[in-house]
Chains A and B, each alone.
Chain A
């Protein structure tokens, strides 16, 4: 019995140790940036049996929202601020939809984040789809009128063109019709944003 308690205790300690070691990042960031905008959204359609596929859809939908928000706000370029894994403001070199496809979607060979699909827990789509619901995506962006010289940015028009040419673009009518509108006035947007802020600011 004592042996069992000791061995279980050791295993539990191991778990706690992994928790502490699993993340590290530099707090030093020399890139001065304007304030970021949080975009919280719910990808269209009901969740499927494949979380990886849902996460991919959420990641693309979030990128579409980033591009659309940029253009609607009268700007042309955007940089991702969070998730940190793909943060341009933290020095990520990823700034094209082609690279996004490789790193953040299930079609990519080296999809970033855990693919712990069978157990229903994991980080998918470069941590964009890691909310209370796999179809909920969170992305923080900074937008620019002119292409900045101090940071790598996405061209919003190029992102939209890529999504359309690859049949990944979701027409606004489609997600409004399905009751999954991500508008700033919607209760869903507010509740998702509040959930995300609470998690992010911890």
Chain B
């Protein structure tokens, strides 16, 4: 019996140590599908912003874009006719993806423990019990440490006013992704919105 506990301990600890931990600190990045360059090198710093949200969650993206453009010295206009740029932003989507390692880890650790236990003790009952025990603990640990990936996308359409009442449209899509152990949409959303709004504001001088 003592031997069986030793097996459970050794195999279980190995499983926990070897299964690989998730990311403790959040990693987040964002990218645009294409760069935008304006025709006007020295434009009037005025903008009219239209923010929409067609994603399944409430979004503060529009407000963040407004705040960051103001921080860059842009005056937000109430009338699009008086603005140099009309900035339209749509928060498109927010989704999450988690690694599927809990069941595999539990199965692998449980099966290995059961095999080792049977080889040592020649007892099917002990092998089953120890396999289940280690499998459950390893699975729980893998579940608790699995990385979560949250992704957000936003469409951007900027109408730039040129001389003689002519306009030119620039469009891009911004993708942002955050990764952390057990990350949820609620935790990642402010970070992703910050990344995307910074990227949009970065288009402007």
Tally of contact residues, B, Cβ under 8 A: 58
Contacts of B136 in A (CB 8 A): 11-12, 14-15
**Chain B stretch 62-116: residues in CB contact (< 8 A) with chain A:** 92-112
Given contact pairs A121-B108, A122-B108, A148-B33, A90 touches B101 in the complex (Cβ within 8 A)? no
**Chain B stretch 139-158: residues in CB contact (< 8 A) with chain A:** 139-140, 142-143, 146-147, 149, 151-153
What separation, in Å, do the CA atoms of A192 and B108 have in the docked complex?
24
Determine whether the beta carbon of B176 is less than 8 Å from that of A93: yes
Determine whether the beta carbon of A24 is less than 8 Å from that of B96: yes
CB distance from B160 to the nearest CB of A (A): 17
Given contact pairs A116-B19, A116-B104, A118-B18, A14 touches B151 in the complex (Cβ within 8 A)? no
Partner of B100, one of A22, A90, A110, A151: A22
Interface assignment of B128: CB less than 8 Å from any CB of chain A: yes
Interface assignment of A199: CB less than 8 Å from any CB of chain B: no
Interface assignment of B20: CB less than 8 Å from any CB of chain A: yes
Interface assignment of B48: CB less than 8 Å from any CB of chain A: no
**Chain A stretch 143-175: residues in CB contact (< 8 A) with chain B:** 147-152
Contacts of A110 in B (CB 8 A): 23, 27, 179
**Chain B stretch 161-189: residues in CB contact (< 8 A) with chain A:** 171-173, 175-177, 179
What separation, in Å, do the CA atoms of A158 and B152 have in the docked complex?
26
CB distance from A183 to the nearest CB of B (A): 31
Other A-B pairs beyond A26-B95, A112-B99, A121-B104, 15, CB < 8 Å: A15-B139, A18-B102, A19-B103, A24-B97, A26-B94, A31-B153, A93-B175, A93-B176, A114-B142, A116-B20, A118-B14, A122-B104, A149-B172, A151-B173, A152-B175
B: residues with CB less than 8 A from A are: 14-15, 18-20, 23, 27, 29-31, 33-34, 54, 56, 92-112, 128-129, 132-133, 135-136, 139-140, 142-143, 146-147, 149, 151-153, 171-173, 175-177, 179
